Structure 1
Amino acid sequence: MKRWIILDRDGTIIKDKNYLHDPNGAELTEGAADGLRMLAGMGYSFVVLTNQSGIGRGYFTEDEMNAVHLRVDEMLACSGVRVSGWFHCPHRPDEGCSCRKPELGLVRRAQEELGFSDADVAFVMGDKKSDLEMAEALGAPSVLLMTGYGAEEYAKGARGTLNCGNLRDAAKAIAEFEDGAARASFSRDLREHAEVVSAMRSLEAQAGAAASVIISSLRGGGRLFVCGNGGSAADAQHIAAELSGRYLAEREPLDAAALSCNSSALTAIGNDYGFDKIFSRQLEAHGRAGDALLAISTSGNSANVLEAVRAAKKMGIRTIALTGGDGGALAREAGLCVCVPSSATPRIQEMHILFGHALCGIVEKTLCR
């Protein structure tokens, strides 16, 4: 998804020269080329929205305005900067149109042509209060630049989310803004992770019970099957690999297999019987009474995982579900359901591999003394 910056023209990208219509008079504001180059390097795309009432007043034509825009494009291209689109309002302020900023008509035209939404707008930058008001209407952060009328607007009390001397300063401030947001997001994830880890202590009994099911099966010559979708498929393969390979101790391999590894089986069964059968059909082929199934589903409602549990029960295979929240349908179907005490998908998935590692450690220590 692209991140878009909406830019004003006069006083923002180019110096404000009253009703500019001669391309030879176009002059970039201080720091404009450097700032836009820095922002482009950060992954932003640019669209310019500008009020050009000089057209409505008869001072110049749209062709003359377009010639100015072409000249600015050429100057910016020398710095490796590309503006994706230029959109203008040609009306006088007294005409009451829906496209003169801070109205959103120009935004809607740009969105339709360039294919972005309000949520894709990262910042609105300009030197006037109307730019700030448009940003507020979009629910986007704003940058008030002190070039053009910016210093005058600031003195009157106008404030953007960021208030910067010029586009170069704005790019630096946005880089710091993004870095701060990234740090805050990471800290929040760590805090939430630690809180759920602490809450996982309530699952000590379930960990012991789940390990006992797996140990009993492997001691009796059975196998452990593991299944899940997406990230849970990766966890299934991870857990199976720790047991069939080595977790911490040097030992004999333990018979564990993930049901998500055989792409030919998955695609053939999915094509012939439907996606809901991709695990249960393999289990019916390879499983035997006395085996164990570890079924992983973040929601507890994955249809193909449920089908595997139901098939296992009919075959005399003991079942363990690893879920989150209230456990979903798996809580009612599995012989033992371990529910991570969280409703946040990332935290649930993080705890799944933590719990999986704990199971591997218990199983390994018990069977390989």
Structure 2
Amino acid sequence: MPAPSSRAELFLGLISGTSADGIDAALVRFHGDGPHARPELLHGRTHGWDAALRARLVALGQQAQALTLDAVGELDVRIGRAFADAANASIAAAGIDRTAIAAIGSHGQTLRHRPQGEAPFTLQLGDAHVIAERCGLPVVADFRRRDVAAGGHGAPLVPAFHAAVLHAADEDRAVLNLGGIANLTLLPAHGDVRGFDTGPANGLMDAWCLRHTGQPFDAGGRFAAQGRVDPALLARLLAEPWFALAPPKSTGRDQFHLDWVEAALAGGESPADVQATLLALTVRTVADALHATQPATSRVIVCGGGVHNPLLMAALADAMPAATIESSALHGLDPDFVEAMAFAWLAREHLAGRPGNLPAVTGAAGPRVLGALYPA
């Protein structure tokens, strides 16, 4: 398929991340040609999940549960409807003529991510047929499975977008996404782009906070600030073998969940101390990973929900004193919508017939055009 015309350089990106805290929608205009076209966020909004549906998604992510085929099929449609509603609401709020939108790039909701083993797979739900039908627009979806089929992890995929818009020729940079899972993109001034997950971030902290305070996330890091880091607990959590794996690697809520935390508890820890320790776990695993893979990093550009946690940002700065730690907002990218913008970009790359993965990041056998097109 030919590259989209200059008239139709609008794309809408949709994603619900590991935390399942909402569906992020980003309406993006791309200025220029090729993968390095400058993205402009015209409208970004996070659309809340139906409470019952979100509770089910979180429960499925926190622990392995058997699902009937009927249940999987129903979830696929319900998630697709929610994504379509989010897209339509964003288009209406932006006041954009939908016929100007070239396509929707929909990540979906990850239900399982198993990129290793005899039959590796990754599963994102959110029926793209439903989205296309309800929105009347082409949809590009199912981005991860082609990379897995090519021997990769199918994740992280956002580093290709980071490289296209945030690389600098005069300094070694890293982009840190603090979503449900933390992941790093390494952008050396000269050399190959790399990227990988470092471990849990908001997913564990949000789940622990919800259980013990009734709040869906630790606003401002106030709950963690009430506690102290438990060194013994932190050491037990860090003993998880996954942390010692070399990149490429990826993970998800199905690996780092509250049952995993509780298995490391000695008993008697205060909830606030556990929250503080989970925050320290994120900081330690990010800092260790960056030191091991790109020790000369001079700037860490942070995006994702964690950028709004001042305690977390301050702890990262303390752990990496040689680097400047700053929000992606300083580079023209709203930190809350970088991932959604990336899936708008990936949809654009698909329509242009260009690869969307970086084999050095995912471990795939080579560059691949990602996703499948579902016509309007």
TM-score between the two structures when normalised by the length of structure 2: 0.26
| Structure (1/2) with the larger helix percentage | 1
TM-score by length of 1: 0.26
Higher strand proportion: 2
Q: Which has the larger radius of gyration?
A: 1
